[in-house]
A and B are shown apart, each in its own frame.
Chain A
Amino acid sequence: MTGTAAEPAAVAAVRLPRRRGTELALIVVAVLLSVYGYCAVGLARDGSVPPGAAGYGAGLGVLALLAHGAVRLRAPYADPLLLPIAVLLNGLGLVLIYRLDLETPGDRAAPTQLVWSTIGVGLFIAVVLVLRDHRVLKGYAYLSVVTALVLMIVPIFFPAVNGARIWIRIGGFSIQPGEFAKILLAVFFAAYLAANRTALAYAGRTVWRFKRLQLPTGRVLGPIVAIWLLSVGVLVLERDLGTSLLFFGLFVILLYVATGRTGWIAVGLLLAAVGAFAVGSLEPHVHGRVEDWLHPFASIEAGEGPNQLAQSLFAFAAGGLLGTGLGLGHSILIGFAAKSDFILATAGEELGLAGLVAIFLLYALLVERGFRAGLALRDPFGRLLAIGLASIVALQVFVIAGGVTGLIPLTGMAMPFLAQGGSSVVTNWIIVALLIRLSDSARAQAVPVSASGPAAGSGSESGSKEVRA
Chain B
Amino acid sequence: MTRHIRHAAAFCALLLVALLVNATRVQVVDSRTYDDNPANRRAAIARFAQPRGDILVDGKPVTGAKDTGEQLRYERTYRNGPLYAPVTGFASQVYGTTFLEHAEDDVLAGTDPMLAPLPLWNDLTRAQNPGGKVVTTIRAAVQRAAFAGLGGKKGAVAALDPGTGAVLALVSTPSYDPERLAGTGSAVTGAWARLNADPDKPMLNRALSQTYPPGSTFKVVTAAAALDAGEITDLDADTRSPAPYTLPGTTTSLANEVEGCTNASLRYAFQWSCNTVFAKLGVDTGQDALAGTAKKFGFDSSGLRIPSPVATSTFDTAMDDAQLALSAIGQYDTRATPLQMAMVSAAVAGGGSVKAPYLVDRTTTDDGDTVASSGTRTLRQAMNPGTAVQLRELMTDVVEKGTGRNAAIEGVTVGGKTGTAQHGIGNAGTPYAWFIAWAQEPGDAQPSVAVAVVVEDASADRSDISGGGSAAPIAKAVMEAALR
A interface residues (Cβ-Cβ under 8 A, vs B): 1, 4, 6-8, 253, 256-258, 260, 297, 300, 305-306, 310, 313-314, 316-321, 324, 330, 333, 348, 352-353, 356-357, 360, 363-364, 367-368, 371, 374-375, 380, 383, 387, 390-391, 394-395, 397-398, 401-402, 405-407
Pairwise interchain contact A314-B5, C-beta atoms closer than 8 A: no
Q: Which residues of A contact B4 (CB under 8 A)?
A: 256-257, 260
Beyond the given pairs A4-B1, A333-B41, A367-B12, 20 more chain A to chain B contacts, judged by CB atoms under 8 angstroms and listed by A's residue number, are A256-B7, A257-B4, A297-B37, A300-B37, A306-B37, A314-B35, A314-B37, A316-B23, A319-B27, A320-B27, A360-B19, A360-B23, A367-B9, A371-B5, A371-B8, A374-B5, A380-B1, A394-B16, A402-B18, A406-B22
A-B contact pairs, 23 of them (CB 8 A): A7-B2, A257-B8, A300-B37, A305-B39, A306-B39, A310-B37, A317-B27, A317-B34, A320-B28, A330-B41, A330-B71, A357-B23, A360-B19, A360-B23, A367-B12, A368-B9, A375-B5, A380-B1, A383-B1, A390-B12, A397-B19, A405-B26, A406-B22
CB nearest to A364 among chain B residues:
B16
Indicate which residue in A352, A391, A401 contacts B27 across the interface (CB closer than 8 Å).
Answer: A352
Pairwise interchain contact A407-B20, C-beta atoms closer than 8 A: no
Pairwise interchain contact B8-A253, C-beta atoms closer than 8 A: yes
Cα–Cα distance between A397 and B40 once the two chains are bound (Å): 26
CB nearest to A6 among chain B residues:
B2
CB nearest to A325 among chain B residues:
B126
Cα–Cα distance between A374 and B6 once the two chains are bound (Å): 10
**B80 near A: Cβ within 8 Å?**
no
Q: How far is the CB of A426 from chain B (nearest CB, A)?
A: 24
Pairwise interchain contact B22-A407, C-beta atoms closer than 8 A: yes
CB nearest to B9 among chain A residues:
A371
Q: Which residues of A contact B11 (CB under 8 A)?
A: 253
Contact string against A for B residues 128-171, beta-carbon threshold 8 Å, 1 for contact and 0 otherwise = 00000000000000000000000000000000000000000000
Q: Which residues of A contact B35 (CB under 8 A)?
A: 314, 317-318
Q: Which residues of A contact B31 (CB under 8 A)?
A: 316-318, 320
Q: Which residues of B contact A310 (CB under 8 A)?
A: 37, 39
Cα–Cα distance between A300 and B35 once the two chains are bound (Å): 14
**B24 near A: Cβ within 8 Å?**
yes
Q: Which residues of B contact A7 (CB under 8 A)?
A: 2
- The 9 A-B pairs with the shortest beta carbon distances in the complex, nearest first, are A317-B34, A317-B31, A394-B12, A398-B15, A407-B22, A353-B27, A300-B39, A306-B39, A371-B9
Give the interface SS of chain A, mostly helix, strand, loop or mixed: helix
**B42 near A: Cβ within 8 Å?**
yes
Cα–Cα distance between A407 and B21 once the two chains are bound (Å): 10
Give the interface SS of chain B, mostly helix, strand, loop or mixed: helix
CB nearest to A393 among chain B residues:
B12
Q: Which residues of B contact A305 (CB under 8 A)?
A: 39
Say yes or no: A317-B7 contact (C-beta < 8 A), given A360-B16, A367-B12, A405-B19.
no
**B13 near A: Cβ within 8 Å?**
yes
Q: How far is the CB of A391 from chain B (nearest CB, A)?
A: 7
CB nearest to B11 among chain A residues:
A253
Indicate which residue in B7, B9, B18 contacts A398 across the interface (CB closer than 8 Å).
Answer: B18
Cα–Cα distance between A320 and B71 once the two chains are bound (Å): 22
Pairwise interchain contact A402-B19, C-beta atoms closer than 8 A: yes
CB nearest to B43 among chain A residues:
A318
Pairwise interchain contact A391-B12, C-beta atoms closer than 8 A: yes
Say yes or no: A407-B19 contact (C-beta < 8 A), given A306-B39, A313-B34, A353-B28.
yes
Cα–Cα distance between A162 and B71 once the two chains are bound (Å): 25
Q: How far is the CB of B66 from chain A (nearest CB, A)?
A: 19
CB nearest to B33 among chain A residues:
A317
CB nearest to A399 among chain B residues:
B15
Q: How far is the CB of A359 from chain B (nearest CB, A)?
A: 10
Q: Which residues of A contact B8 (CB under 8 A)?
A: 253, 256-257, 371, 387, 391
Q: Which residues of B contact A375 (CB under 8 A)?
A: 2, 5-6
Q: Which residues of B contact A402 (CB under 8 A)?
A: 15, 18-19, 22
Cα–Cα distance between A360 and B21 once the two chains are bound (Å): 12
Say yes or no: A387-B27 contact (C-beta < 8 A), given A398-B19, A402-B22.
no
Cα–Cα distance between A317 and B32 once the two chains are bound (Å): 7
Give the number of residue pairs across the A-B interface with Cβ within 8 Å: 133
**B369 near A: Cβ within 8 Å?**
no
Cα–Cα distance between A406 and B19 once the two chains are bound (Å): 10
Q: Which residues of A contact B371 (CB under 8 A)?
A: none
Q: Which residues of A contact B30 (CB under 8 A)?
A: 317
Cα–Cα distance between A4 and B12 once the two chains are bound (Å): 25
Q: How far is the CB of A155 from chain B (nearest CB, A)?
A: 28
Q: Which residues of B contact A391 (CB under 8 A)?
A: 8, 12
Pairwise interchain contact A401-B19, C-beta atoms closer than 8 A: yes
**B229 near A: Cβ within 8 Å?**
no
Pairwise interchain contact B12-A330, C-beta atoms closer than 8 A: no
Cα–Cα distance between A300 and B19 once the two chains are bound (Å): 25
Q: How far is the CB of A339 from chain B (nearest CB, A)?
A: 17
Pairwise interchain contact A260-B41, C-beta atoms closer than 8 A: no
Q: How far is the CB of B47 from chain A (nearest CB, A)?
A: 12
Q: Which residues of B contact A348 (CB under 8 A)?
A: 23, 26-27
B355-392, CB < 8 A from A: none
**B477 near A: Cβ within 8 Å?**
no
Cα–Cα distance between A90 and B243 once the two chains are bound (Å): 97
Pairwise interchain contact B18-A407, C-beta atoms closer than 8 A: yes
Q: Which residues of B contact A318 (CB under 8 A)?
A: 31, 34-35, 40, 42
Pairwise interchain contact B27-A330, C-beta atoms closer than 8 A: no
Pairwise interchain contact B42-A371, C-beta atoms closer than 8 A: no
Q: How far is the CB of A153 from chain B (nearest CB, A)?
A: 29
Pairwise interchain contact A330-B45, C-beta atoms closer than 8 A: yes
**B484 near A: Cβ within 8 Å?**
no
Q: How far is the CB of B294 from chain A (nearest CB, A)?
A: 48
Indicate which residue in B1, B6, B40, B71 contacts A258 across the interface (CB closer than 8 Å).
Answer: B1
Cα–Cα distance between A260 and B126 once the two chains are bound (Å): 53
**B462 near A: Cβ within 8 Å?**
no
Q: Which residues of A contact B126 (CB under 8 A)?
A: 324
Pairwise interchain contact B15-A257, C-beta atoms closer than 8 A: no
Q: Which residues of B contact A371 (CB under 8 A)?
A: 5, 8-9, 12
Pairwise interchain contact B26-A406, C-beta atoms closer than 8 A: yes
Q: How far is the CB of B213 from chain A (nearest CB, A)?
A: 43
Pairwise interchain contact A394-B28, C-beta atoms closer than 8 A: no
Cα–Cα distance between A297 and B39 once the two chains are bound (Å): 9
Q: How far is the CB of B44 from chain A (nearest CB, A)?
A: 10
Cα–Cα distance between A343 and B18 once the two chains are bound (Å): 19
Pairwise interchain contact A387-B41, C-beta atoms closer than 8 A: no
Q: Which residues of A contact B33 (CB under 8 A)?
A: 317
Cα–Cα distance between A321 and B31 once the two chains are bound (Å): 10
Q: Which residues of B contact A306 (CB under 8 A)?
A: 37, 39-40
Pairwise interchain contact B39-A356, C-beta atoms closer than 8 A: no
Q: How far is the CB of A258 from chain B (nearest CB, A)?
A: 7
Q: How far is the CB of B251 from chain A (nearest CB, A)?
A: 59
Q: How far is the CB of B121 from chain A (nearest CB, A)?
A: 14
Q: How far is the CB of A371 from chain B (nearest CB, A)?
A: 4
Cα–Cα distance between A320 and B37 once the two chains are bound (Å): 15
Q: How far is the CB of A447 from chain B (nearest CB, A)?
A: 21
Cα–Cα distance between A317 and B34 once the two chains are bound (Å): 6
